[in-house]
A and B are shown apart, each in its own frame.
Chain A
């Protein structure tokens, strides 16, 4: 084979370009003197010597490539960073996020990497600021305190949250879990083992959601059950509600909807059904389970979640209104919807727990019951002959954008809805 001259010239140009590029790279983009990289920065930043003694040092720092992240001359970003701090890390760490994450850690998505990592050097692997649960507890304080306080601890949690959760994003499951429940749990807990079966009364629970009954972060109950346990469940009387392990449909419940619960809670249900107005979901196919967990819960009254979340599953408009309102009603904020409403039934519209709206509000606002604008049966609403003035004539109980949860942006506008003679 012979070299053709017309190929030789472009080939040489290509070699020259490649060689030139690597030469430029070797010198660094700031054309530093040989041996000046990093070392020259330490002339002024002398405190760094100590930091660099940490066992885990960020690779660019280790190689003295300060200019990998910082611009030594000028920058539009704080700390002379060479790019937006939200994006600078992913410039090198390109595989932090999966292509299609199911869940993403908010701080990671916001590029706040330094909330968890020291960009220079740290005592802990991956340049983490703290180790294990202590790091996550910096933000997840309540959970961290609970993990520390519970009587029965879950061993993997003790070793660190990253045993079950991905720190940045998960391609497999929600809540940053490495995989979905029960698959995640079954990696350690073998359902074929005798003890597992005995603890679960021989019910085929391998395909059920473990976290419906167990608190994966630890508990004060044996078996890591949630703190509040339904009595039949605690006493292993599963057959009171389920057909039983010898049945072809062992987990099937013995009756549908509220009728199952009525077996024990007949007084409560009869009392509810005797009222004029029912909370209708109580009587649908899920019945009590629309709001309650039949086995165990970390909420009072075995609620399936905090009350605002439970109520918000159907009444999302109301909860959203409160969340976005400028003036908010504290009971809704605190998740005590039942301060005003009866969850099962009532004789009043809106399932209010007292016949008079004024009395409902007066439970907390007693002073306003007698020292306020005329309200009650004697105060007729001029806008409507069938109405009297109540608190709800001017206020909205789930928050508004006006002060004091008033319905109008200004008091003048509110008052002149009725007192038209003062309109301007």
Chain B
């Protein structure tokens, strides 16, 4: 009998092994649902930013100068609230920290606005003690918040990534590499590695935790991607780049190798038209700001 039990256990293990490895695979990009409007039916207009968790979705409804909050349910989303304040005129990137505080990059005024959990204005992100001159111009093109709530800002004016603590105090900076085209976005993985995406050269650079500078992670990826503008990671070994001009999502390994291309250009659900931003939650759902289709699409 013990032999029979052993064989049964082995058989069950064999059945589950493929399922376990499948779970580690990247997102399949099967369309689940799309977000088109708020509760009153006002449609989204050129949304450019998304932030997500397992239970919530925050959309930068850029063309309507507002943020929209949704609750994420199983294969569905439900409108929660609208945030429209005069201090945030043109949101293009959004992030939410572990405390639920909202950060939004105002593309028109080029500053990061801080909002309380309920959407109340809490002030502009005050960049305290950023060298060499606290009064120097800083032009944030994009930003991300890591697991510890540290804030990473792509400062295109001074050519660096500025790292701030959750209160906005300067921690360190990482200089851009000597040669590059134009950096549009960054992402920080759970290990603290920072990845920068160069839109003009279709390249990704990386800086390991506490590294002084960036090194090219990939070669020129023009063969696979037209104009990447946003980067994120699933923290399972895959980097996701939104190919704005190509209307798709391109997957890279952590060594910069090409791993595939998902979705394609179009108007129907499941297709993308100038995708601007992408967020992935821990349940393996991808939320894409499908800018020129005036919607946010959710894939799994």
- List CB contacts (< 8 Å) of A302-357 with chain B: 313-318, 349-350
> Shortest distance in angstroms between A317's beta carbon and chain B's nearest beta carbon?
4
Contact in complex: B294, A387 (CB < 8 Å)? yes
Contact in complex: B156, A314 (CB < 8 Å)? no
Q: Which residues of B contact A256 (CB under 8 A)?
A: 137, 157-158
**A314 to B37, alpha carbons, bound, how many Å?**
34
- B93: interface (CB < 8 Å): no
Of the candidates B157, B181, B184, the one whose C-beta lies within 8 Å of that of A283 is B157
Contact in complex: A283, B294 (CB < 8 Å)? no
- Asked whether A314 and B141 contact (CB < 8 A) given A276-B90, A383-B268, the answer is no
Over the window 230-264 of chain B, the binary record of Cβ atoms lying under 8 Å from chain A Cβ atoms (1 yes, 0 no) is 00000000000000011000000000000000000
> Shortest distance in angstroms between B60's beta carbon and chain A's nearest beta carbon?
13
Contact in complex: A285, B199 (CB < 8 Å)? no
- A257: interface (CB < 8 Å): yes
**A109 to B205, alpha carbons, bound, how many Å?**
37
**A349 to B290, alpha carbons, bound, how many Å?**
13
- List CB contacts (< 8 Å) of B114-169 with chain A: 137, 139, 141, 156-159
Look across to chain A and name the residue whose beta carbon is closest to the beta carbon of B35: A386
Q: Which residues of A contact B294 (CB under 8 A)?
A: 384, 386-387
> Shortest distance in angstroms between B162's beta carbon and chain A's nearest beta carbon?
14
- A284: interface (CB < 8 Å): yes
Contact in complex: A381, B267 (CB < 8 Å)? yes
**A277 to B91, alpha carbons, bound, how many Å?**
11
- B208: interface (CB < 8 Å): no
> Shortest distance in angstroms between A318's beta carbon and chain B's nearest beta carbon?
7
Look across to chain A and name the residue whose beta carbon is closest to the beta carbon of B41: A385
> Shortest distance in angstroms between A75's beta carbon and chain B's nearest beta carbon?
43
**A130 to B298, alpha carbons, bound, how many Å?**
68
Contact in complex: A314, B36 (CB < 8 Å)? no
Of the candidates B63, B182, B226, B267, the one whose C-beta lies within 8 Å of that of A384 is B267
- Asked whether A280 and B182 contact (CB < 8 A) given A285-B156, A285-B159, A384-B294, the answer is yes
- B287: interface (CB < 8 Å): no
- List CB contacts (< 8 Å) of A382-421 with chain B: 383-387, 393, 417
Q: Which residues of B contact A140 (CB under 8 A)?
A: none
Contact in complex: B44, A386 (CB < 8 Å)? yes
- B43: interface (CB < 8 Å): yes
Q: Which residues of B contact A128 (CB under 8 A)?
A: none
Contact in complex: A383, B267 (CB < 8 Å)? yes
Contact in complex: B227, A315 (CB < 8 Å)? yes
- A278: interface (CB < 8 Å): yes
**A385 to B35, alpha carbons, bound, how many Å?**
11
Over the window 5-34 of chain B, the binary record of Cβ atoms lying under 8 Å from chain A Cβ atoms (1 yes, 0 no) is 000000000000000000000000000000
- B200: interface (CB < 8 Å): yes
Of the candidates B107, B157, B199, B246, the one whose C-beta lies within 8 Å of that of A314 is B199
Contact in complex: A317, B227 (CB < 8 Å)? yes
Q: How many interface residues does B have (CB within 8 Å)?
A: 39
Look across to chain B and name the residue whose beta carbon is closest to the beta carbon of A280: B141
Q: Which residues of A contact B245 (CB under 8 A)?
A: 315, 317-318
> Shortest distance in angstroms between A17's beta carbon and chain B's nearest beta carbon?
55
- Total contacts A-B at CB 8 Å: 83
- A243: interface (CB < 8 Å): no
Q: Which residues of A contact B37 (CB under 8 A)?
A: 386
- B110: interface (CB < 8 Å): yes
- B274: interface (CB < 8 Å): yes
Contact in complex: B267, A349 (CB < 8 Å)? no
Q: How many interface residues does A have (CB within 8 Å)?
A: 28
Of the candidates B107, B156, B158, B226, the one whose C-beta lies within 8 Å of that of A277 is B107
- A151: interface (CB < 8 Å): no
Contact in complex: A284, B222 (CB < 8 Å)? no
- List CB contacts (< 8 Å) of A355-390 with chain B: 381, 383-387
Q: Which residues of B contact A284 (CB under 8 A)?
A: 139, 156-157, 159, 182
> Shortest distance in angstroms between B73's beta carbon and chain A's nearest beta carbon?
21
- B292: interface (CB < 8 Å): yes
- List CB contacts (< 8 Å) of A146-194 with chain B: none
> Shortest distance in angstroms between A287's beta carbon and chain B's nearest beta carbon?
8
- B69: interface (CB < 8 Å): no
Of the candidates A275, A316, A384, the one whose C-beta lies within 8 Å of that of B293 is A384
Look across to chain B and name the residue whose beta carbon is closest to the beta carbon of A320: B222
Q: Which residues of B contact A257 (CB under 8 A)?
A: 137, 157
- A68: interface (CB < 8 Å): no
- B295: interface (CB < 8 Å): yes
Q: Which residues of B contact A381 (CB under 8 A)?
A: 267
- A85: interface (CB < 8 Å): no
Q: Which residues of B contact A277 (CB under 8 A)?
A: 90, 107-108
- B46: interface (CB < 8 Å): yes
- B66: interface (CB < 8 Å): no
**A393 to B141, alpha carbons, bound, how many Å?**
30
- A259: interface (CB < 8 Å): yes
Contact in complex: A384, B291 (CB < 8 Å)? no
> Shortest distance in angstroms between B192's beta carbon and chain A's nearest beta carbon?
26
- A281: interface (CB < 8 Å): yes
Q: Which residues of B contact A417 (CB under 8 A)?
A: 267
Contact in complex: B141, A387 (CB < 8 Å)? no
Contact in complex: B200, A283 (CB < 8 Å)? no
> Shortest distance in angstroms between A378's beta carbon and chain B's nearest beta carbon?
15
**A188 to B99, alpha carbons, bound, how many Å?**
69
- Which 8 residue pairs are nearest across A and B when measured between Cβ atoms? A386-B294, A314-B200, A317-B226, A383-B267, A284-B156, A386-B43, A283-B139, A285-B159
What are 22 of the A-B contact pairs (CB < 8 Å)?
A256-B158, A276-B89, A276-B108, A280-B141, A283-B110, A283-B139, A284-B139, A284-B159, A285-B157, A313-B181, A314-B199, A315-B245, A317-B222, A317-B226, A317-B245, A349-B46, A381-B267, A384-B294, A384-B295, A386-B43, A386-B44, A386-B295
Query: Given contacts A384-B268, A386-B43, A387-B267, could you give 11 more A-B pairs where the C-beta distance is less than 8 Å?
Result: A259-B137, A281-B182, A283-B110, A285-B156, A285-B159, A314-B182, A383-B268, A384-B294, A384-B295, A386-B37, A386-B293
